[in-house]
Structure 1
Amino acid sequence: MAKDQLKLDNQICFPLYAATREMTKRYQPLLKELDVTYPQYLVLLVLWEEGMITVKALGKRLYLDSGTLTPMLKRMEERGILTRRRSTEDERVVEVELTALGKEKEHLAEEIPMKFIEGTKLSEEEYHQLKAILAKLMQETQ
């Protein structure tokens, strides 16, 4: 019985890992016009929603540590997509905000979610079920 538990086909981690890699690969052509990577697209999604956010809150929202997030934000800032600045209230806090270029990219991204969903071949019900299950898994990791 214990041997069966070690079979790849009996693991939940493997299909999640493989599906994540496949999903990221499917986003690449959709993000070409935006000229951003998938993780950068996630940053843009949060900033389009929030307007301005602290690096700490952004990291928490995206499940990314500052060691991963800071270099990515720096690259995005160098490309003129966003700005980072120290809070006037607490200099330890860094705030992130979109530039005009970052805001313009939102218009280019409007069709991306629908195009991605169409490419999954999931029914609307399956899509929502999967999203709910993954959200539940993510809640348990926090």
Structure 2
Amino acid sequence: MAKHDKVTRGQFRVHDDGVKECADCYKPPAVKMFVDDADRVRGITRTSFCADKPVGFSIGLMTYSSVRKQDVDVIRACSSHANYHVHHWHHLRVSETKVVEKYPLDSPDDVMRAYGSATANIYPRYEEWITEWSRKV
């Protein structure tokens, strides 16, 4: 995959003392499920937690591409680089078509707000995202 433009790095760190993980940190396996009745659109959620609060996430949709003969990414919202941003793909190309930067993550509240936004806008709007993805030229 081609690299996208850099996003603005936020100040949020799970642990201020430089520790990468603590005893309260955990990363369960990714949740993969179909979000449509026809089992054509797969949702994939990866979330890292500390003390039962999300501290990092990736929430996306995939669907089968008859052109590329495999499941392909459509859209993904994530919190990497302490920044809430959304990746968009094209139905004919492997590389992303754009990355939309939402806002830097500077605090746990920012992460919670971004996580809420991603969960409210990716899966529930799957029909809209698939239509947009397939229209791109």
State whether TM-score is above 0.5.
no
Give me the TM-score of the superposition, normalised by structure 1: 0.24
The structure whose Rg is larger is 1
Which structure's relative contact order is higher, taking Cα pairs within 8 Å and 6+ residues apart?
Answer: 2
